[in-house]
Amino acid sequence: MLAGKRVVLGVCGSIASYKAADAASKLTQAGALVDVILTASAQRFVSPLAFRALTRRPVYTGMYDPAATTAEEHVELARAADALLIAPASATTIARLAFGLADDMLALTALATTAPLLLAPAMDAQMWEHPATRSNVATLRGRGAIVVGPDEGRLASGRTGAGRLVDTATLLGALRQALGSAGDLAGRRIVVSAGGTQEPLDPVRYIGNRSSGKMGFAIAEAARDRGAAVTLVSGRVALPTPSGVERVDVATTAEMAAAIRAATAACDALIMAAAPADFRPPAAASQKIKRAGEGLTLSLVPTEDIIAGLRGSFVKVGFAAETQDLRENARGKIARKGLDLIVANDVGADGAGFGTETNLVTLIDASGACEELPLQSKYDVGMRVLDRVVALLGVRRA
C-alpha cells in the first residue's frame, strides 16, 4: 500500500519531534519515498542528518535553498506528493496553515499541494484546548484535513491531558486509510469479527480458545486500506485498534452475536474471522468454584450459531479452522450456513492458524471450487479474501 508512494513528512518544533524519526523509518521500511521537511524550530530539536540517514533522501530545511536544482523546486515537492503528513503538528504550524500562509517550506508545501493533508498535533493540553487552536483545527478539518489524535496522557509539561502525539502505528494507519480512500471498497460497509470468545464458568474462570484475533484485525486493516468503512467486532484480544476502524468489544458468543446482528443491519459484507465458542456452561456459578477432593465434571450446551442465524443480502464469508478433513468440513459449512465463501485454514500447519503472523488458507466458494493460497502475511491473506468480496459485490450489483 505504501510502496512507491511519495510521502512528505513535515516535522514541527516540539518535544515530540524526535518521534517523527520513527515514523520516517517505518514509512521508509514500508517502501514509501519519504521527503522530510523540518521547520526552523524543528531543527532546534532534531537534526536533518538523522532524517537523511533514515530516509536516504535529501531533507528540506528551508525554501530558499541555494542548492535547489530548478527554480520551481520550491513547489515541486507539493506537486509530487501522494500525501502530506505533519507529525508533530505544532500550534504555530496549524495556525499558519489555517491562515493559508506560505512563509516557510512546510506551509508553502501544504498550500501548494492537492494531496491529502494529515495533521498529528502535539502540544500542551492548554494550547490544544485554546479557542484559537480549536478554531484553526476546525477550519482545516472543514477544508478536508485529516486530524489524527492527539492522544491523552502525560505531557512534557508534567501535566496530564490531551496533547500527546499518537503512536507511529496510528500515524501509518491513518496515512494508509487516506491513500486508500478511493479504493475498490470505497462507500462499502464491511463488518469483520475477530478473536475468540470467553464463556464464563464462574467469576474468575472461562472457557476460551487460542484465537489471537490477528487474522480478523489484519482483514479490518486491509478493508480500511481499500476505502471501506469497517466495524470490527472483537473478542478479548491483546491488539491495538487499527486506526480508522470502529471497534466493538465483546466477551461471550451471545454478546458477539448481538453485536454482529446490530452491525450487519446495514452492511455490504460480513467476514467472520472470529473463533466463537461452540459450547458454553449453561450458567456461570455465582461464586468461585472451590477445589474439592474429587474432580469436576462440566456439562456444556451449544452456543448460538452466529452466522447461520443472520438474515440479509450482504456477502457472507466464514472461516473454518480445522485440524482434519479441511476441504470436506469447509464445504459442509458453506451449505449449512448459507455462505458465499469460506476461508479454510489448517490450524495445525506450520506458520498457520492461531497467534502466527502468517496464514496458509484455501478459499472455497459456494460452487465448491477451491483456490489454495501460498503461505503469506495475514494482511495479504486479507487482501486476497477482499478481492473475492469485491468480485461478489460486483456480481450482486450487476
Q: Nearest CA to 106 among 7, 12, 5?
A: 12
User: At its nearest, how many Å lie between ligand FMN and the CB of residue 141?
Assistant: 17
- For residue 136, indicate whether it is catalytic: no
Phi, psi of 317 (to 5 degrees): -120, 125
Grid cell, residue 391, equals 468480485
Instruction: Please identify, using beta-carbon distances, which residue of 127 and 263 lies nearer to ligand FMN.
Output: 127
3-state SS string for 252-300: CHHHHHHHHHHHHHHCCEEEECCECCCEECCCCCCCCCCCCCCCCCCCC
Residue 129: CB atoms within 10 Å: 13
User: At its nearest, how many Å lie between ligand FMN and the CB of residue 364?
Assistant: 52
Is the peptide bond prior to 66 cis by the omega test (within 30 degrees of 0)? no
User: At its nearest, how many Å lie between ligand FMN and the CB of residue 34?
Assistant: 18
C-alpha–C-alpha distance, residues 244 and 146, integer Å = 11
Residues of this chain that interact with ligand FMN (CB under 6 A) are 12-16, 39, 41-42, 90-93, 122-123, 127
Q: Give the active site residue among 209, 329, 345, 359.
A: 209
Instruction: Please identify, using beta-carbon distances, which residue of 147 and 258 lies nearer to ligand FMN.
Output: 147
**End-to-end Cα separation, the chain, in angstroms:** 28
Instruction: Please identify, using beta-carbon distances, which residue of 12 and 306 lies nearer to ligand FMN.
Output: 12
User: At its nearest, how many Å lie between ligand FMN and the CB of residue 134?
Assistant: 14
Is the peptide bond prior to 150 cis by the omega test (within 30 degrees of 0)? yes
User: At its nearest, how many Å lie between ligand FMN and the CB of residue 14?
Assistant: 3
Instruction: Please identify, using beta-carbon distances, which residue of 78 and 347 lies nearer to ligand FMN.
Output: 78
Q: Nearest CA to 344 among 370, 383, 312?
A: 370
Question: What is the maximum alpha-carbon separation in the chain?
Answer: 87
Instruction: Please identify, using beta-carbon distances, which residue of 9 and 16 lies nearer to ligand FMN.
Output: 16
Active site residues: 209
